[in-house]
Amino acid sequence: MEYISAKLSDYEFDRISGLVYSLCGISLGSGKKELVTARLAKRLNELKLQSYDAYLKYLSGDESGYELLQLIDVITTNVTSFFREMHHFDYIRERILPEYRIKSEKIRVWSAGCSSGEEPYSMAVLLFEEIGNLMLRDVKILATDISTNILTKAKEGVYDKQLVNGVPKMLLNKYFDAFTDRDEYGRTLYNFKVKSDIRSVVRFARLNLMEDWPMKGPFKIIFCRNVMIYFDKKTQEKLVGKYHALLETGGHLFIGHSENLSSISHSFKYVQPGVYLKC
């Protein structure tokens, strides 16, 4: 394959940044120019376009909207892992779930920015472990992301050996099916597929957080971890207000360890790093 080498001008970067912001609220600072150049280079090669200006013209002429989805897919970062930031799952197990071991009330959880599915599947595993067979309970986990490509992977629920390193061996054996496959070079691949009981309680859907939200709630738990770091303060404040409205009283919002709500106006009560309560 012949690779096309093109330079991204400041003007072109500003146009792409403005487009991304208008579409999904992600703010690309000047420090992201190299990242944008590298990630869009593949699209230029696939489309056989010689410049980023040609790509912008291609975008504006694409009435189907397909390329806009591809742009968002390549720009958004999808980094996650099973039981990431374990102290959040410890908090849920110790402070939220004890009452549900003896009650049959419904539980609604939303993983906003679910990426490749590790977060909602981790939550499903935790719920199975702590409150029993979810098939007999009114439990649903909504998992949304803006990337159509990453959602396809999440729905499959298949992960290679390296990606399940964070899953305790007992849980791995209990909630995953191991199988082998071959890559294009004939090498053996060791994969794990999330079992059907776990996948059945998670519903994946595409959602742009900047657009109208179809779900009504109320949710017991909302995860929005390591997502708001890509938004400006105005957008963060708007999102947090909408999360607050969708949570039931006593519900919790979980954000990433590198995020906090101290610089924006909100109605949550701070509990501990990354954990906020709706009183």
Return the CATH number at 22. 1.10.155.10
Per-residue model confidence (pLDDT) at position 228: 83
In the listed set 54, 75, 96, which residue is the last one of a domain according to the structure? 75
Domain that holds residue 49: 10-75
pTM: 0.82
Q: 228 and 93: one domain?
A: yes
Q: 18 and 117: one domain?
A: no
Sign, CA torsion 36/38/42/44: positive
Catalytically active residues are 39, 145
**Taking all residues of the chain, what is their mean pLDDT, rounded to a whole number?**
88
pLDDT digit string, tens, across residues 121-164: 999 999 999 887 777 788 899 999 988 888 999 999 999 988 99
Report how many helices (DSSP H) and strands (DSSP E) the chain contains, helices first: 10, 10
In the listed set 28, 44, 75, which residue is the last one of a domain according to the structure? 75
pLDDT digit string, tens, across residues 181-199: 887 777 787 899 999 999 9
Nearest Cα to 54, choosing from 14, 17, 12?
12
For residues 210 and 23, the answer to whether their CB atoms sit within 8 Å is yes
pLDDT digit string, tens, across residues 59-77: 888 877 788 878 887 777 6
What's the CA gap between 128 and 136, in Å, rounded?
Answer: 11
User: pLDDT band for position 1 (50/70/90)?
Assistant: very low
CA distances from 47 to 1, 14, 56, 182 (A): 12, 21, 12, 29
Q: 16 and 150: one domain?
A: no
Q: Where are the alpha helices (DSSP H) in the chain?
A: 10-24, 33-47, 52-61, 66-75, 86-91, 118-131, 148-156, 169-175, 196-200, 233-246
Q: 14 and 140: one domain?
A: no
